[in-house]
Amino acid sequence: MEHKKEFEKAVEKKVENTVKKVVKVIAMVILGVLIFLLANYLLMRLWNWLMPDLFGVGTVTYWQALGIFILAKLLFGFGGGGGGKSKGGSSHKKKIKSSNKCTPWRRDFDEWKHYDQFWKEEGEEAFKAYVEKIKNENHDKAKEE
């Protein structure tokens, strides 16, 4: 008897979880449709507010706005962004990350964190010595000519 009650409770839990999942899926589908319809309505309102004044075009109905929305999605993409998932292998972002073309520059950039300290300790004197060296080299070249 106890085994039968445990089995019934397990089946009830499975059915309950399945019903919850189905309700969530239905709610998400309804929410998605509502968001799509709202986006289409907003497109129609924006078009009718801006386009006639800016470009002299006529106003559109809800169904014409739906057509414009679908056409724009077909022409400009659905905005998924890829997220690193591409059908043809690795994505462009992965190629950039994996390429080591910039690593020497990154190493050089890491060394610049010591620049301020160097300039305080040795910079001005080293710069003055460098300027004097250049002046002397230019002076020597002028004498040779």
Q: Are residues 68 and 26 in the same domain?
A: yes
Number of domains in the chain: 2
Which one has a higher pLDDT value, 46 or 126?
46
Q: Are residues 67 and 107 in the same domain?
A: no
Q: Are residues 108 and 65 in the same domain?
A: no
Q: Are residues 72 and 22 in the same domain?
A: yes
Integer angstrom CA distances of residue 70 from 31, 67, 78, 133: 19, 5, 10, 69
- Is residue 25 in some structural domain? yes
* Helix, strand, coil percentages, rounded to 5, for the chain: 80, 0, 15
Residue 44 contacts residue 60 (beta carbons within 8 Å): yes
Which one has a higher pLDDT value, 145 or 26?
26
- Is residue 91 in some structural domain? no
- Is residue 38 in some structural domain? yes
Domain range spanning residue 129?
103-144
Q: Are residues 73 and 110 in the same domain?
A: no
- Is residue 117 in some structural domain? yes
Predicted confidence band of residue 47 (pLDDT cuts 50, 70, 90): very high
Q: What pTM does this model have?
A: 0.47
Predicted confidence band of residue 137 (pLDDT cuts 50, 70, 90): confident
Q: What is the largest CA-CA distance in the chain?
A: 114
Contacts (Cβ under 8 Å, ≥6 apart) of 69: 39, 40, 43
Cα angle 45-51-55, degrees, rounded to a multiple of 5 = 175
Mean pLDDT of 118-138: 82
Q: pLDDT per residue over 78-99, tens digit each?
A: 777 655 555 555 555 555 555 5
Mean pLDDT of 122-138: 83
- Is residue 4 in some structural domain? no
